[in-house]
Amino acid sequence: MSSYIKNDWYMAAWAGELTDQPLGRRIANEPVCLFRDASGKVAAVEDRCPHRAVALSLGKVVAQGIECGYHGIVFDGKGECVRIPGQSHIPSKACVRHYAVEEKDSIVWLWLGDPAKADRSLIVDYPWHGDTKKWPHKEGLIPVACDYRMLLDNIMDLTHLGYVHARTIGGSPGAHSNALMKTDRTERGVKFQRWLLDSMPPPTYLKAANFPGHIDRWQELELITPCSIIQYTGGVDVAQDAYHGGSREGGFAMRVLHCVVPETDTTCHYFFSVANGWAQDNPQVTEIAYGQVYPTLIEDKVICENQQKLVADFPDRETVDIKSDEARIVFRRQLDRRIAEEQALQAASGAALSPA
């Protein structure tokens, strides 16, 4: 069974990555060439010229579309061949696959499946990228050599903070293991909330804000399949009693977007952004917040790449689930259910199409 949902949106790039040069990126094993056409609109086509099998992203953007850098064949944003130097006839086979794409919230989203089925209402909303007053942010991308699901698993079980990130955002392991946890399955994924009441502020928080003593700390995460996680996290002085509805203002607050996009079966693109919810008028603070998150993601990368290697080396050894896997397991079931549904649908439609 494939480990990917085909008919859904995947983050393909930061909008800012696309200038006047094409960008080649493997997404879920597919070679994709992203580019902005003459009008600035983003297009995505198969990153392989059907003439000699060279990546179109080695070519250049021209008025009519993307020109192959080998023999100059041009394709438009729909993958149609519009020019073959030295001949007027365009063979019907000389075309490439194209993808539905949409630029929204500073993100280029790509529909991996049939473009005709692309449903723009399903694109993840992330309005905070546009809200530069309240949530100034900085964007990043880390290549990680693991199955994308391992990194999503990692984020879905935050008890790892006390161990993997002890020196940064972790704080005391006990607080994490004893956090108040609420997990809810959603239509397209899973949501969970954790409260670490009356806990020590972790090193990262202390660098950002002055806390006189213990804090009530929240972590709200929503995973939207296939692979986006919206995180809202922060902490305020215990006196504010935020857990029982008190104010969440005046302490530390951060929004982190995680888009963990499969590149191949064993590698992924970890897109992320960090938005700071305090001292928003000081651009240095955004840098500091990013500078606190980035090394924790590198710590996650080390762990997940090690896991990938051990899974590859010992594929037959079993794993054991524990209590803190709850949200992770809901996520995996949702993902597997959606993949199975999609494949059943495809099999049924294939059966309907074949002659009896």
123 contributes a contact to a second copy by CB under 8 A: no
| Cβ distance to a second copy smaller for residue 253 or 327 | 327
Distances (CA, A) of 241 to 210, 214, 222, 223, 246: 17, 12, 23, 27, 5
Contact 198, 244 (CB under 8 A): no
| Cβ distance to a second copy smaller for residue 91 or 130 | 91
Contacts of 346 (CB under 8 A, 6+ apart): none
Per-position b or e across 37-52, b if 16+ CB within 10 A of its CB? beeeebbbbbbbbbee
59 contributes a contact to a second copy by CB under 8 A: yes
Footprint on residues 89-108 left by a second copy (CB under 8 A): 91, 93-94
Q: Which of 3, 7, 14, 70 binds a second copy (CB under 8 A)?
A: 70
316 contributes a contact to a second copy by CB under 8 A: no
Footprint on residues 32-51 left by a second copy (CB under 8 A): 48, 50-51
| Cβ distance to a second copy smaller for residue 31 or 291 | 31
Q: Which of 153, 216, 222, 237 binds a second copy (CB under 8 A)?
A: 153
d(CA 266, CA 263): 8
Contact 243, 223 (CB under 8 A): no
58 contributes a contact to a second copy by CB under 8 A: yes
318 contributes a contact to a second copy by CB under 8 A: yes
| Cβ distance to a second copy smaller for residue 199 or 286 | 199
d(CA 158, CA 142): 20
20 contributes a contact to a second copy by CB under 8 A: no
Give the DSSP letter of residue 64.
Answer: T
Instruction: Give me the least distance between CB of 25 and a second copy, in Å please.
Output: 14
Instruction: Give me the least distance between CB of 337 and a second copy, in Å please.
Output: 22
Residue 109: CB atoms within 10 A of its CB come to 25
Which pairing describes strands 81-83 and 98-104: parallel, antiparallel, or unpaired? unpaired
145 contributes a contact to a second copy by CB under 8 A: no
Instruction: Give me the least distance between CB of 173 and a second copy, in Å please.
Output: 6
Q: Which of 44, 61, 73, 100 binds a second copy (CB under 8 A)?
A: 73
Q: What SS3 state is found at 164?
A: helix
Q: Which of 40, 86, 127, 355 binds a second copy (CB under 8 A)?
A: 86
Site string for a second copy, 264-303 (x = CB under 8 A): --------------------------------------xx
322 contributes a contact to a second copy by CB under 8 A: yes
Instruction: Give me the least distance between CB of 260 and a second copy, in Å please.
Output: 16
Q: Which of 84, 141, 197, 329 binds a second copy (CB under 8 A)?
A: 84
Contact 107, 14 (CB under 8 A): yes
Residue 297, H or E segment: helix 283-313
d(CA 254, CA 231): 8
Binding residue count for a second copy, defined by CB under 8 A: 52
Distances (CA, A) of 256 to 44, 90, 178, 273: 27, 48, 23, 6
320 contributes a contact to a second copy by CB under 8 A: yes
Show the tokens assigned to 209: 């804000």
Distances (CA, A) of 142 to 5, 214, 263, 301, 308: 22, 33, 12, 9, 16
2 contributes a contact to a second copy by CB under 8 A: no
Give me the residues that bind a second copy (CB under 8 A), please.
Answer: 31, 48, 50-55, 58-59, 67-73, 84-87, 91, 93-94, 153, 157, 159-160, 162-164, 173-174, 176-178, 302-303, 306-307, 310-311, 313-314, 317-324
